Amino acid sequence: MSRYIMVIDTRRCVGCHDCVVACQTENNVPAGYCRDWITETARGEFPTVQLEIRTERCNHCANPPCVYCCPTGASHIHERGGVVLVTHDKCIGCKACLAACPYDARFIHPEGYADKCTFCIHRVEKGQDPACVSVCPTRCMHFGDAEDPLSDVSRLLASRPHHTLLPEAGSKPRIYYLT
Amino acid sequence: MIEFTTSRHNPGIDPTLHLWGWEIPVYLFLGGLVAGLMMLSGYHILRAQWDRDRAHGHYVTAPILSLVLLSAGMLTLFLDLEHKLYVWRLYLTFEIASPMSWGSWILLLVYPALVASTLLTLPDSLPRLTRMVPPLGRAASAFAARPGLVHLTGFANLILGAMLGIYTGVLLSALGARPLWNSALLGPLFLFSGLSTGAATLHLLAHLGPRAKRDDGSFGDALTSALVHWLRPPEAHTDGNRKLAQADNSFLTIEFALLALFLGGLMTSTEAHQAGARLLLSGPWAAPFWVFVVASGILLPLVLQFLQAQRRIQATVIPALLVIGGGLALRLILVSAGQASHWSIALH
């Protein structure tokens, strides 16, 4: 049983937004919307300032509240990799999943269904990386199977300190940020 | 100091969440009100069966009113959907973990229960229509002549009304990403708010319509009647309106207690839950919350109805209108403020 995760090195991310544009291009994301985005968090006061730049998206949680709350089963966990997906023609646009997501990662597509990052499952099933991972100029993004101890992602998690976003929300996110 | 910048700019999500406007709070209000009406009329149908010589009084209008109001509520639900043509997908599956799926099936079962209770009370609620369409009258009489069916209708209205009243609160409370809603007390709070608005609606109809010839059941008046009788002994013939006011006061008292426990629970929880509660207690929603929900929606009607029950002041429609307004305000404020409450990613 595979479990796809993403590992992002915050010490290499420079916030160039290549991942954002690549995702919008690859997935025909409508103008004015984004499935992934960049955040910058600055802590402290000059001269002791810490800055973390992150590329964020749907965390494809292992305990996804967006799947549990969906009344039609449109929001579901893919049989391969534990990827959280939305079946467009089952979605009624009730927005319960948008309200359920602690990361506000979803949005309503202009055609009416809930939309979000899909880990480019159409590319992954052909053996490719997600579009955002492919274009990253600093190679700070890694995608792979956490169940494979020899994968890049497993090795990085074993060797570097890392954190997830809002672990206290209880959704068990599957995107890890190396610090 | 923490400075947080994001490049996300999704409509309806940024800069603040705005998913649900007026449609959902109006449905929650109408659903709760109908739930209260169903429970009261279901109870009354059962009481009328057990005590055969009691008149129906103003409860007879509850079923047909419920049908109309619930249909209006479901229309607002439909208006809220962003992918409307796929609404039928709700009825191809039952998602056990989704309170919204529970609700869509409960609503499907509520309609036959309401049609049955409407048919049962049709000769009293719409006598002219029953005379103009004789098959309706015959169907109502045949229905009323079957005690088993009448009992079933009464129980169905009572149970399904309770489920309708409580599931809307459970639906919001299951969305853990919005800390303000994340309390198990939200379901019971919405249920008792629905009961109080339902009783207030019947109270309003009783004031506006012809007086009931006989007095009616005293559902829920145990709390206030004990105090009233201590201050003034009960009279030989009681007014049905007064009983409704007493019932409404019992529901309002419980609703007030649940509201206090709900906010107390949030204030003794995590920082995110405390911040959510503060939106109502001292933040941007404090003024409408304290004025329209607490003061004029619960406390003032409590006092007025208590004085009315004691016959110290004239009975008027004012307390009923205040309770109904308070129920709507509660839902408008909770849905709006809940969308502003969130776990903060900026702190990580």
Is the pLDDT assigned to residue B219 strictly greater than 60?
A: no
Q: What's the pLDDT score for residue B240?
A: 61
Calculate mean pLDDT across residues B225-236: 46
Q: Which of A98, A115, A164, A176 to mutate to test the interface with B (most CBs of B within 10 A)?
A: A98
Minimal Cβ distance to B104: which of A56, A71, A111:
A71
b/e code B85-104 from CB counts within 10 Å (16+ = b): ebbebbeebebeebbbbbbb
**How confident is residue B348, by pLDDT bands cut at 50, 70 and 90?**
very low
Written as one letter, the residue type at B16 is T
Distance in angstroms (rounded) separating the CA atoms of residues B255 and B32: 13
Q: Are B332 and B275 in contact (CB under 8 A)?
A: no
Q: What is the mean pLDDT of chain B?
A: 87
**Beta carbons of A65 and B83 less than 8 Å apart:** no
Q: Which of B6, B9, B10 to mutate to test the interface with A (most CBs of A within 10 A)?
A: B10
Q: What's the pLDDT score for residue B87?
A: 95
Q: What's the pLDDT score for residue B324?
A: 96
Using one digit for the tens of pLDDT, what is the confidence trace for A21-53? 999 999 999 999 999 999 999 999 889 999 999
Using one digit for the tens of pLDDT, what is the confidence trace for B4-14? 888 899 999 98
Helix (H, G, I), strand (E, B) or coil at B289: helix
Calculate mean pLDDT across residues B66-88: 96
Residue B298: φ, ψ to 5°: -125, -60
Q: What's the pLDDT score for residue B2?
A: 81
Please give the C-alpha separations between residue A146 and each of A81, A179, B81, B276, in angstroms, as whole numbers: 9, 19, 37, 36
Q: How far is CA B325 from the centre of its chain?
A: 12
Q: pLDDT exceeding 90 applies to what percent of chain B?
A: 62
Q: What's the pLDDT score for residue A14?
A: 95
Torsion sign across C-alpha atoms B124, B129, B131, B135: negative
Q: What's the pLDDT score for residue B310?
A: 81
Is the pLDDT assigned to residue B216 strictly greater than 50?
A: no
Q: What's the pLDDT score for residue A129?
A: 96
B274 CB neighbour count, 10 Å cutoff: 14
Minimal Cβ distance to A99: which of B5, B19, B80:
B19
Is the pLDDT assigned to residue B185 strictly greater than 60?
A: yes
- Distance from first CA to last CA of chain A, Å, rounded? 28
Cis amide linkage into residue B135, ω under 30° from 0: no
Closest-CA residue in chain B for A168? B343
**How confident is residue B51, by pLDDT bands cut at 50, 70 and 90?**
low
**How confident is residue B23, by pLDDT bands cut at 50, 70 and 90?**
very high
**Beta carbons of B83 and A165 less than 8 Å apart:** no
Distance in angstroms (rounded) separating the CA atoms of residues B190 and B195: 9
Q: Are B82 and A97 in contact (CB under 8 A)?
A: no
Distance in angstroms (rounded) separating the CA atoms of residues A54 and A66: 23
Minimal Cβ distance to B2: which of A43, A73, A170:
A43
Distance in angstroms (rounded) separating the CA atoms of residues A103 and B345: 7
Chain A residues inside the 8 Å CB shell of B98: 68-71, 96
Residues of chain A with pLDDT under 50: none
For residue B276, give the nearest of B287, B292, B265 by alpha carbon.
B265
Residue A92: φ, ψ to 5°: -100, 0
Chain A residues inside the 8 Å CB shell of B81: 92-94, 112
Q: What's the pLDDT score for residue B48?
A: 79
Name the residue with tokens 């209108």.
B321
Shortest alpha-carbon distance between residue B38 and chain A (Å): 25
Domain boundaries, chain B: 23-347
Chain A residues inside the 8 Å CB shell of B342: 102, 104
**Beta carbons of A99 and B342 less than 8 Å apart:** no
b/e code B17-53 from CB counts within 10 Å (16+ = b): bebbeebbbbbbbbbbbbbbbbbbbbbbbbbbeeeee
Q: A62 is written with which tokens?
A: 């292992």
Is the pLDDT assigned to residue B220 strictly greater than 60?
A: no
Q: Are A128 and A121 in contact (CB under 8 A)?
A: no
Concatenate the DSSP letters of all residues of A2-24 into one string: --EEEEEETTT-----HHHHHHH
User: Which positions ≥6 away from A97 have C-beta within 8 Å?
Assistant: A66, A67, A69, A70, A75, A86, A106, A114
Name the residue with tokens 């101890």.
A149
Helix (H, G, I), strand (E, B) or coil at A84: strand
For residue B327, give the nearest of B188, B196, B183 by alpha carbon.
B196
Minimal Cβ distance to B178: which of A72, A90, A99:
A99
Q: Which of B1, B19, B85, B186 to mutate to test the interface with A (most CBs of A within 10 A)?
A: B19
Name the residue with tokens 């209708």.
B153
Minimal Cβ distance to A95: which of B82, B97, B171:
B82
Say which CATH architecture domain B23-347 belongs to: Up-down Bundle (1.20)
Shortest alpha-carbon distance between residue A176 and chain B (Å): 13
Domains and CATH numbers, chain A: 4-178 (3.30.70.20)
Q: Which of A92, A95, A108 to mutate to test the interface with B (most CBs of B within 10 A)?
A: A92
Using one digit for the tens of pLDDT, what is the confidence trace for B285-341? 999 999 999 999 999 999 998 888 788 887 788 999 999 999 999 999 999 999 999
Q: Are B13 and A104 in contact (CB under 8 A)?
A: yes
Is the pLDDT assigned to residue B347 strictly greater than 90?
A: no
